Chains A and B, each alone.
Chain A
């Protein structure tokens, strides 16, 4: 397929404003959607669905959420893990207390609850900036996890402190708990991610997204042209936490099935999602997906390669993986702070002009 925009003229602003102004992009998205919903479930086995695609999709949603806050609005958060926990515990309490309202509304509602919590912890952002704010979000991280550990109400006083997802069904298929159908789980999560990725893209290219970026790039100028920092920052915290909360709900209920707060949602989760958006690309919807894919698949591949290929111990493989992630973070920040998404765009630019260099 030749990637060209020659001959595709925009006669009005409506066409120029379209989500994917270049025809080939529209075909690519269509093909991706067809593959996602048509081919993948038919071709891939349970291992692929459970071990790679589910975490990839769920982390994509979380990365999208963090990217809204950090990539678009410029507010660094180290509390993603805790906000995922808020989503997880919300959906758990909803599943136990009101099993009748249906699983999809529950996940959305968990997002709403997380948005409320996130907004509260976003309040300090009105007075403090940069890494000061990062420390403030650390407060959220440690406090919330402690709360979910200590207050029995959250885990229904279970002896272990664990929460287990009871089975929920959508159109007759079980999507949570140990007996869940992998294909149904996959469809559910993929649908969630597709819908909310589109919504994120729409918000990002509209007025609200522009206001976020304005605050990120030059907050004082933004304020003086009438962007209210209060509203812009808190809305970023709310929308971001909404996404992260839904991701946390799916992470616990659909993927893990059971969770314990100190392990499933600790600070390393926060770092992992942050690394996804750095590697994928800050301020890019596509980047959230690329980063999530990279950090979900890379450790598995590395481990397979090292343990099966070179016969190293899995502990060593894990240490090397940590180093690789660290090196990649530094490398991307130095070479391409806009991550994989920018590399992809450069490649596209090159293709547009090919075979001419300019």
Chain B
């Protein structure tokens, strides 16, 4: 039983990581209807930039983080300027494929700017097992994972307030609803997009820091981020709580499947379990856990 709890907890922690990436997807999708395939690479790019600033320019941690945030905002501005601006009112599938191209550009740029070797990211986030959990419940859990969970919670709370209470948040939701209607009441689409992509970039940075601290900053990070896609299918593309819960379900589900089912089929089913789960789910509830059913009109 203890082992099961341990597996579940470690699954939840992995799930929090997925949620962090999924959150970036949701933000952009909500505000622009774009399914941003590059979100994972953005996390990688942010983490690479952070490490690069610290290693190559000897920035202290706080300055490196600020520097990275500046870079991510500049990136958002460039993306809007060069790409999004020219793709307004295109089909969603065209926009999706454009972000595929963006993923390649960012990947190549990250490699050229900061090198493609695996990097260690040490921000002084506590490492090792949590003694308290080990002593009082006999459960092994990484401090880093607890830290990640807390960070995610704070960020979600922050985003919720941002969306519900601020003027920009309301404008964001208006844009998500209907581009043209939003334009016609005087909301600047371009500004909104820059803001959203900046926020998504910062979320990507947080995700990149967490993943990077755990397993080093390397290209596989952007592949792990692909797992955010099944998370979104479960949670719905427009729901922030959906992204969190979806992430937890996927994280826990694949850990349990790996530990209890994996040995019978040769292991490594973590590679595909999330996608299959999402696929099965899609067949029964195409709109996700929290999405609304859309009435089609002709």
Contact = CB atoms under 8 A, between A and B. Distances in A.
B58 interface: no
Interface in A115-173: 124, 127-128, 130-132, 134-136, 138-139, 142-143, 145-146, 149-151
A99 interface: no
Contacts of A127: 282-283, 286
B226 interface: yes
A333 B101 contact: yes
Interface majority SS on B: helix, strand, loop or mixed?
helix
Given A127-B283, A139-B272, A330-B83, A320 B96 contact: no
Q: Which of A124, A136, A330 has the most CB of B within 10 A?
A: A330
Interface stretch (A48-56, A283-291, A293-301, A321-329): A321-329
A17 B108 CA distance: 47
A326 B103 contact: yes
A277 to B, nearest CB: 10
Contacts, number: 127
Given A139-B278, A326-B101, A333-B101, A130 B93 contact: yes
A132 B278 CA distance: 10
Contact of A143 (B106, B272, B296): B272
B93 A76 contact: yes
B94 interface: yes
A261 to B, nearest CB: 12
B279 A337 contact: no
A76 B286 CA distance: 17
Nearest to B288: A132
B269 interface: yes
Nearest to A315: B116
A131 B93 contact: yes
Interface of A: 74, 76, 124, 127-128, 130-132, 134-136, 138-139, 142-143, 145-146, 149-151, 220-221, 224, 267, 271, 274-275, 278, 315-316, 319-323, 325-330, 333-334, 337
12 contacts: A76-B96, A131-B93, A132-B233, A135-B278, A138-B229, A139-B279, A221-B298, A326-B102, A330-B82, A333-B87, A333-B90, A334-B83
Among all A-B residue pairs, the 10 with the closest Cβ atoms? A329-B101, A326-B104, A323-B108, A139-B275, A326-B105, A322-B108, A142-B272, A150-B266, A143-B272, A330-B101
Interface of B: 35, 82-83, 86-87, 90, 92-94, 96-98, 100-109, 111-112, 116, 223, 226, 229-230, 232-233, 265-269, 271-272, 275-276, 278-279, 282-283, 286, 296, 298
